[in-house]
Structure 1
Amino acid sequence: MRRRHLLALAPTAALAACTNRTDPTSADPEATAPSDPEGTRPEESAAPTQEPSTEPSTQPPTRAEALLEELGPRELAGQLVLVGIHAGQQIPSEVLSDHHAGGILLLQVWEVGDAVDEIVAEARDGSRGGLGPLVAVDQEGGQVRMLRGDAARRTPSAEELGEQGPGAVTEAYTSIGEDLSGHGIGVALAPVADVVDPDLGDANEPVGGLDRGFGTDPEHVARCVAAATEALADRGVTATLKHFPGLGRVEQNTDFSAEGIVDDVTGADDPFLDSFAAGIEAGAGLVMMSSAIYPRLEPDVPAMFSRAAVQDLLRDQLGFDGVVITDDIGAAEAVADVPVAQRATRPLEAGGDVVLTADASLTGELVDAIEQWAAESEEHRERLRESVGRVLALKESMGLLEE
């Protein structure tokens, strides 16, 4: 499997990131390092060492690094909000012009390809020059296909694909990748990496009940997730693994219920995490956090707000250095009792990056909250820049920062 690391641009890490890119051993994890005794002759190991150079790096900053310094406080905050646009609607002008949203998500069912092309063009035209928007869509196959009609071909559900095996997954997700890239959509909110508890089956409403999971065996699901991630990448589309750390053991759908969304089993050493690890290793650029609650990680706290789930487990333990995005925080019942401003800032405090809202009318309030939070302290400001750096690095890898 291939891993495509995304540069996590911490505010003071630009020079370190540049030097890492020139290190051949960091580019190839299987390369023999100079200090490896199996790759160095005895007489070479005795050679005098050279003092590290104190000269500053002359390598010019990447476009992402340059933009991180150019953007104003509100532009930085806006990059961390992904806004849902319902089929048949236009993007509210203030979403991009005043709030500088980092991208859009196509909601509901879009059946006319020309309409999809028009909304993508609208998002690009409304965004700052040289800073293209992320455009995302739920396109998993089966019942969860937001592009239909002449906008995209039909693909089987994950359950059907899982029964056929990774080869069928590759074929279907190649088709999905071709359809999305053909419309200029660079982010698939797929694949679902959740492993369905076999004791629940269809009673697991968010995944099993909608045939969204590849199966109940973690190793098999892991192979399917890796196949889907790589197939999308081969067509220029970035995969989003969801819903970390897994929705396969809850009964209710967090979009519609605040009850029945507690998973008492999943912990840091759970085999159900293997499918997410496989997707990360395969190069997924984003991971979506669940809004369910996992007491073995952090009691009473939705995963998207939990530092134990995001920073400790996903980033530190599984090594994910890409963009962490929330599940919907705009209309989802699971977080309806959380003040809107906290829905924007608690993911940042947990180690996440982007908030996704299905309610476009909340965009300004979300951006306001992030901007004000960042202004409270230098620590918050640097934390904001860290997340924006990840978003800009992802956009640069997708060719969205061309001047």
Structure 2
Amino acid sequence: MTPTQHAGQLLMVALTPQMGTNGLDAQLADGLGSMLYLGGWTGRSSVAATSEHLQDSAVRVGGTRVGVLVAADQEGGEVQQLTGEGFSTIPSGREQGALAPAELTRQAKGWGAELEQAGVNVNLAPTTDTVPAEIGRGNAPIGQYGREYGSTPAAVTRGATAFAKGMHAAGVMPTTKHFPGIGRITGNTDATASGITDSTATTSDPHLAPFAAAMRATPTLVMVGSARYPKIDADNQAPFSRAVVTDLLREQMGFDGVVVTDDVGVAKAVADVPVGQRATRFIAAGGDVVLTADATQTQTMTSAIVRRAASDEDFAEQVQASVTRVLTLKEDMGLLRCG
């Protein structure tokens, strides 16, 4: 792969219905490795046709087609990007958490099968954040919408693990999010840079238990949220923190899979960070795939990764390690194919 193709494998870019089926063709030609359906797609046939086009347009290297991670944000409740014909109306996390774990796994397998039939191979779910009962709906990103599986780590562990198992059984990679937990903050990182500090969390936080359980239970991606955790890293937001991504997630908790950001394209929480640095700082922290809801940022992020790798040997090694993790995942998922 070229340096540009390496960088492309480390980006996940949103595709909206308004952009059309061909909306990411230029990025795919340059090596884009992952995409996210965003903006409210309707009907399995439309999504399936787009997914097929994405895979047909994936970059080819040395006779091997490097398939695309095709993602959806299909939690249920208020967060369900794919609706209409072929897609069930999924209950909220709070409602899912009331089900017996075996029943939730069974239902999640069915929802996952709907995604798989539409060509979606990654679900950016389950939400694995614990919202304490005393905060409840005062937690803007999760509690306000009933996205949590419960108000204790034990309840969240049951729900998130059951959901993740069902998704994986259907052939869809789950994504455990939003590490290390955004259940105690008040602000929604998508909409504000205020109220996004969790001053309680430490590296021995009980709220880490659901993440650990999900990672043990089934193969999964891990999404890092954009909040601040001063008792873990006083200087950096989570996606730009080596203490969070490498020291805590990878070394202390032993996760060696693919780590993705929450949206760092249009999220207000990271608006003060230059676009290119949102990508390079995440990779430098130990992350792998940078998610942007703004497809126009692709070139800026790609160029920033290529430039820094060309001048910084340590960063270049991190890029190589991240690309290796992404390609290993794709090989495991059957996305590396000859011809």
TM-score after normalising by structure 2: 0.95
2:104 to 169, 177, 180: 169
**Aligned residue in 2 for 1:117:** 48
Structural mapping, 1:231-380, within 5 Å: 231-380=166-315
Contact 1:348 1:384 in 2 (8 A): yes
The amino acid of 1:93's aligned partner reads D
1:84 corresponding residue in structure 2: 14
The unaligned stretches of length 5 or more in structure 2 are none
Superposed displacement of residue 175, structure 1: 1.8
Amino acid at match of 1:112: G
The structure with higher relative contact order (CA 8 Å, sep 6+) is 1
Number of aligned residues: 332
- Which position in structure 1 is the counterpart of 2:75? 140
- Residue 93 (1) aligns with residue 28 (2): no
Q: 1:233 offset after TM fit, Å?
A: 1.1
C-alpha displacement of 1:372: 0.9
Q: Does 1:384 align with 2:319?
A: yes
Summarize deviations over 1:211-265 as a string: whole Å, max 9, x none.
1110011112112211111111111110100000001000011000000101001
- Separation in structure 2 between the aligned mates of residue 331 and residue 115 of structure 1, nearest angstrom: 26
Q: Which has the larger radius of gyration?
A: 1
Q: Following the alignment from structure 1 to structure 2, what is the Cα–Cα distance between the partners of residues 106 and 262?
A: 29
The one-letter code of the counterpart of 1:245 is P
Q: Which moved more, 1:332-341 or 1:221-230?
A: 221-230
What's the CA shift for 1:115?
1.4
**More displaced, 251-260 or 108-117?**
108-117
What secondary structure is seen at the aligned counterpart in 1 of 2:13? Answer: strand
Q: How much has 1:300 moved relative to structure 2?
A: 3.9
Letter in 2 for 1:72: T
What CA deviation, in whole Å up to 9, does each residue of 1:73-114 have, x standing for no partner? Answer: 11111100000011242223321113x111110002111222
Counterparts of 2:94 and 2:300, CA distance in 1? 38
Task: Give CA deviations for 1:351-383 in whole Å, capped at 9, x if unaligned.
Answer: 111100000000011111111111113222211
Cα pair distance change 1:278/1:145, threshold 3 Å: same
How much does 1:125 deviate? Answer: 1.8
CA contact (8 A) 2:47 2:119 kept: no
Instruction: Identify the match of residue 133 of structure 2 among 198, 210, 215.
Output: 198
Cα distance in structure 2, aligned partners of 1:228 and 1:318: 21
Q: Tell me the SS of whatever aligns to 2:326.
A: helix
* Residue 164 of structure 1, CA deviation: 2.5
Which blocks of at least 5 consecutive residues in structure 1 are unaligned?
A: 1-70
Kindly, what percent of the aligned residue pairs are identical? 44
Q: Deviations over 1:294-345 (max 9, x none)?
A: 1111114210111111001101111111001001111000001101111010
Q: Is the 8 A contact 1:325 1:352 kept in 2?
A: yes
Q: State the distance in 2 between where 1:169 and 1:143 align.
A: 18
Determine if contact 1:330/1:357 at 8 Å carries over to the other structure: yes
Q: Label 1:323 to 1:189 Cα distance change in 2 as closer, same or farther (>3 A).
A: same
The whole-number CA distance in structure 2 between the counterparts of 1:178 and 1:94 is 30
